[in-house]
Amino acid sequence: MKIAVLPGDGIGPEIVAEALKVLQFLAREGLSLEFETGLIGGAGYDSAGDPLPEATLALARAADAVLLGAVGGPRYDTLARPLRPEQGLLRIRKELGLFANLRPAVVYPELAAASTLRPEVVAGLDLMILRELTGDIYFGQPRGRRTTAAGEREGFDSMHYSESEIRRIARVGFELARGRSRRLTSVDKANVLDTSILWREVVIEVGGEYPDVELSHMYVDNAAMQLVRAPRQFDVMLTGNLFGDILSDEASMLTGSIGLLPSASLDSRNKGLYEPIHGSAPDIAGRGVANPLATILSVAMLLRHSGGQVQAAGRVEAAVRSVLRDGLRTADLCAAGQTPVGTQQMGDAVVAALARQ
Ligand code: IPM
Ligand code: MG
C-alpha cells in the first residue's frame, strides 16, 4: 500500500511522526507499506505559494491512502481566502472525491470521567457521525461579497445538494448502520431549508432499499441538544457538510478530548484520507505535549478502510486502549494530580503495546 504522508502545520508533524512509528512497526512485521511525504496547508504555502501544491495533489492521487496531520496557524490568518491553509484541505477533499467523512466518537471506559458531561451520560458511547464532505454550502456557487444598492457590504454563500450527492452518502450511511446496530438518524433542517426537504425525501427513498435499518430524522438544532442530553440514543448520524462539521466537534467533547477522535474521508472506491479531527493547535506546537492518539487511531481507520487490514486495525485500537488502561495521559487528558506524558512517550507506549497484541 502506498501512503502519502502530509504532516501539515502546527502539531501536525509531531503527531504524524508518532502515527508513522505505528505503521513502521507493522511494516517490520511484514505489512507492505510505502511512504512518501508532501506539503500541505501553511507548509505548502510557505514552500510553493499554494496550500495544495501541484506535487502534493499528484502524490495524493497516486497513493492508496493519505495520512494527514493538521493545517493552519495564526501566521496565515490574514492571507486571501484561496491561499489559506484550510483551502488546501477543502481542495484535496474535493479533488480526490472524498465525499464520505466518517467521524466516530467512542468513549473509552478509562476516560468516561474526562468528559465535561457526567460519566453516566457518556459511558459506553459509540457513535458514528457520517458527514457528507464535498457538497453543501462549503462549495456552493454563487458565493462571495458584493455591495447592495444601498451601498452596504454583503456576504453570501449558497447551500446546494443534488439528488445524486444525497443518494450516494445515504447509501454509505445505511451500509455503515448495517455493520453496527442498524439505526440511522438523518439530520437536516427540513422545517426551513429547501435543500433539507430534498435531503429528507431522498434519504427516505434510499431507505426503501434497507428495510432492516431503522431510519429516523432529526432537525439539526434538536440533534445538537440531544447529543448533550442523551447521546447514546444515536448509532449512525447522517449529515450534510455544514451540520456535520458542527455536530462532530460537539460530539468530540463527549469523549473527553478532541485529541482522541480520528476520521476517514473516503471516495467511492475506499481510497481515503485519514486525519485527526482536531486542528493544528499552534499554541502547543513544537513542545512535544500534543496527544498523538487521534492520529494513531486514524492509522487504524486507514488500515481498515483503505488497506483491508481489519486485524491490524483492531490491534492498533487495542494498543491505544491498553495504554489508556495503563494510565498514560497526555496533558489534554490529565485530571488534577495526574502527571502527563509527552507526545513521543505516548507514541512509543502504543508501539510497545502493539507488540503485545
Ligand atoms: C474540519 C475542519 C475543516 C472543515 C476546516 C479546517 C476547513 O473544521 O475538518 O472539520 O470545516 O471541514
Ligand atoms: Mg470542523
pLDDT at 170 over 90: yes
Size of the chain in residues: 357
Q: Residue for cell digits 480520528? A: 262
Q: How far is the CA of 210 from the centre of ligand 1 (A)?
A: 31
Q: Please give the model's pTM, rounded to 2 decimal places.
A: 0.94
Architecture of domain 1-104+259-357: 3-Layer(aba) Sandwich (3.40)
pLDDT at 257 over 80: no
Do the first three CATH levels of 1-104+259-357 and 126-253 match, i.e. the same topology?
Answer: yes
Q: How far is the CA of 325 from the centre of ligand 2 (A)?
A: 29
Q: Which amino acid, 99?
A: F
Q: How far is the CA of 28 from the centre of ligand 2 (A)?
A: 35
Q: How far is the CA of 146 from the centre of ligand 1 (A)?
A: 25
The pLDDT of residue 114 is: 80
The pLDDT of residue 335 is: 80
Distance of CA 89 to the CA centre of its chain: 12
Instruction: Name the nearest CA neighbour of 243 among 169, 145, 168, 156.
Output: 169
Residue partners of 8: CB distance under 8 A and separation at least 6: 16, 40, 41, 42, 43, 68, 69, 70, 71, 85, 280
Q: In which band, very low, low, confident or very high, does the pLDDT at 110 lie, cut at 50, 70 and 90?
A: confident
250 lines ligand 1 (CB under 6 A): no
The pLDDT of residue 109 is: 83
Q: How far is the CA of 244 from the centre of ligand 2 (A)?
A: 8
The pLDDT of residue 253 is: 86
Dump pLDDT digits (tens) for 177-215. Answer: 999 999 999 999 999 999 999 999 999 999 999 999 999
- Section 92-109 average pLDDT: 95
Name the residue of 90, 93, 99 to mutate for ligand 1: max ligand atoms within 8 A of Cβ: 90
Ligand nearest to the CA of 240: 1
Residues noted as catalytic: 138, 189, 221, 245, 249
Name the residue of 66, 71, 77, 89 to mutate for ligand 1: max ligand atoms within 8 A of Cβ: 89
Radius of gyration of the chain (CA): 20
90 lines ligand 1 (CB under 6 A): yes
Dump pLDDT digits (tens) for 286-314. Answer: 999 999 999 999 999 999 999 999 999 99
Query: What is the chain's mean pLDDT, rounded?
Result: 96
Name the residue of 92, 94, 129, 245 to mutate for ligand 1: max ligand atoms within 8 A of Cβ: 245
- Section 69-92 average pLDDT: 95
Residue partners of 205: CB distance under 8 A and separation at least 6: 167
User: Which residues partner with 266 through β-bridges?
Assistant: 100, 272
Q: In which band, very low, low, confident or very high, does the pLDDT at 112 lie, cut at 50, 70 and 90?
A: confident
Q: In which band, very low, low, confident or very high, does the pLDDT at 99 lie, cut at 50, 70 and 90?
A: very high
86 lines ligand 1 (CB under 6 A): yes
The Cβ of residue 325 has, within 10 Å, a number of other Cβ atoms equal to: 12
User: How many angstroms separate the CA atoms of 92 and 234, rounded?
Assistant: 30
Instruction: For domain 126-253, give the fold.
Output: Isopropylmalate Dehydrogenase (3.40.718)
Q: What residue spans define the domains of the chain?
A: 1-104+259-357, 126-253
pLDDT at 7 over 80: yes
User: How many angstroms separate the CA atoms of 30 and 49, rounded?
Assistant: 39
Kindly report the backbone phi and psi dihedral angles of residue 20, in degrees, each rounded to the nearest multiple of 5, phi listed first: -65, -35
Nearest residue (by CA) to ligand 1, atom 10, is 245
DSSP string, 261-291: -EEEEE-TTS-EEEEESS---GGGTTTT-S-
Q: Which atom of ligand 1 is nearest to the CA of 90?
A: 7
Question: Which is it for strands 100-106 and 126-132: parallel, antiparallel or unpaired?
Answer: antiparallel
User: How many angstroms separate the CA atoms of 92 and 101, rounded?
Assistant: 13
Kindly report the backbone phi and psi dihedral angles of residue 9, in degrees, each rounded to the nearest multiple of 5, phi listed first: -120, 175
267 lines ligand 1 (CB under 6 A): no
Contact call for residues 27 and 59 (beta carbons, < 8 A): no
The pLDDT of residue 202 is: 98
Ligand nearest to the CA of 87: 1
- Section 159-166 average pLDDT: 98
Q: Which atom of ligand 1 is nearest to the CA of 263?
A: 9
Q: Residue for cell digits 486514524? A: 298
Question: Which is it for strands 100-106 and 214-219: parallel, antiparallel or unpaired?
Answer: unpaired
Q: Residue for cell digits 492498533? A: 316
With 0-12 CB in 10 A as exposed, 13-18 as middle and 19+ as buried, what is 64?
A: middle
